[in-house]
Amino acid sequence: MTAVRQPSIVSGSVLGRRGLTLRVRPRVLAVSAIVGAILLALIVATIMLGTKPLSVPELVSVFTGEARPSLSRSVLGRRIPRAFTALCVGALLGISGAVFQSLSKNPLGSPDIIGFTAGAATGAVFQIVVLRGGMLATAIAAVIGGLVTALIVYFLARRDGVTGGLRLVLVGIGVGAVVSALSSLLIARANVTDAMLAQLWSAGSLTGRGWQHATATIIALVVLAPLLGWLGRDLALIEMGDDSAAAIGVRVERTRFIALLLAVMAAAVATAAAGPIAFIAFASGQIARRLVQVPGVLVGLSALVGAFLLVAADLLTQNLDLGMRTPVGLITSVLGGAYLLWLLARRI
């Protein structure tokens, strides 16, 4: 007799072949299609509404090869890679936040709140201020800083062979405070030029992002999203309780550790590409769940929501009349603070 695992966690149709299971949820697909269509419209608007707005014929002429060289350089060399970077950074942060909230079973369990983004930022600041490395070295340092911080949090939060829950959040907040203080100390002791560079990078910005940033984030998204999606079913089972998940064959702690490392990698790559950007990871998974009202880790929809939020914030940033280039991280911080206050007001 062959045991059949019941798909009772979420609603929808289940298609299977040779052990590979694909769960089709019409509501999730419909909402994803709507968010994706709005995101596509925002990307087009971002490309057209830059420093100098473009008309539809001008944009079309770029792709037909009829545009003047300066316009082609502007669209193909600056506007499109910036839009793709915003899309992929937002998607990576959205996925990372959804996974961390599942691991911690807490809406506050996002990488920008429990210290992982701060660890990546501190690694980059150390590279800028102490080692004075270039763009690639700073990006690598950010990824290393995020991973080292994640390992520290993981082992400090581990008790009796188990990690997760509120303990992971509290330990992460404590470690995040320490590494943020270290980052501030490095900036305070740096010379004026290095301090300004580090402070500007720490604000989180998409200004000047080119194809090298877009390519790196696209590769990270293509690699990490399917892996976390593959772990999503086991993470949904773990949300029901470690004992229940273990009873049906889930290797709980191994799954949790792998998911944590992959989610940290997603947040670290996003931070390396655009600096520490708040709110996106915190809100994306929650908004995705509110839109479809189903449990589990909604990797695909969280990625779309994260991309939508960051592209929308970047579009707002480019069109704010403040007389300066406003870092998108400042805009997302303001929106994130307002969202957190609203969330707390609803729960208290």
pLDDT in the model for residue 39: 94
Query: What three-state secondary structure class fits 295?
Result: coil
Residue 10 placed within a domain: no
Cα 251-93-86 angle, rounded to 5 deg: 150
User: Which tokens is 248 given?
Assistant: 């049906």
pLDDT for 25-84, tens place per residue?
Answer: 788 888 889 999 999 999 999 888 867 788 888 888 888 877 788 888 888 888 899 999
Count of domains for the chain:
1
Give this prediction's pTM: 0.85
| 136/303 Cα distance (integer angstroms) | 25
Residue partners of 247: CB distance under 8 A and separation at least 6: none
pLDDT tens figures, 302-318: 999 999 999 998 888 88
Token pair of 126 as six digits = 């150390």
> What is the distance between the alpha carbons of residues 42 and 236, in angstroms, rounded to a whole number?
31
Is a pLDDT exceeding 90 seen at residue 92? yes
Give a yes or no: residue 324 inside a domain: yes
CB 107 within 8 A of CB 101: yes
- pLDDT tens-digit series, residues 113-161: 777 788 888 888 888 888 877 777 888 888 888 888 888 888 888 776 6
- Asked if residues 260 and 150 have their Cβ atoms less than 8 Å apart, the reply is yes
Q: Are 180 and 117 in contact (CB under 8 A)?
A: no
How far apart are alpha carbons 285 and 95 in whole angstroms? 7
* Residue 119 within any structural domain of the chain: yes
Which two three-digit tokens encode residue 339? 């969202």
Is 168 contained in some domain? yes
Domain that holds residue 280: 27-347
Specify if 125 maps to a domain: yes
Beta bridge partners of residue 17, listed in sequence order = 20
2, part of any domain: no
CA 67/CA 50 separation, integer angstroms: 17
pLDDT category, 232, cuts 50, 70, 90? confident
Cβ-proximal residues to 68 (8 Å cutoff; 6+ apart), any chain = none
- Letter string b/e over residues 147-173, b meaning 16 or more CB atoms within 10 A of that residue's CB: bbbbebbbebbbeeeebbbeebbbbbe
Rounded distance, CA 86 to CA 313, Å?
A: 9
Rounded to the nearest 5°, which phi and psi values hold at 66?
-100, -5
**Count of positions (residues) in the chain:** 348
CATH number, domain with residue 206: 1.10.3470.10
Task: Please give the single-letter amino acid code of residue 261.
Answer: L
* Each residue's pLDDT tens digit, 233-248: 888 888 777 777 778 8
CA gap 128, 261 in Å, rounded: 25
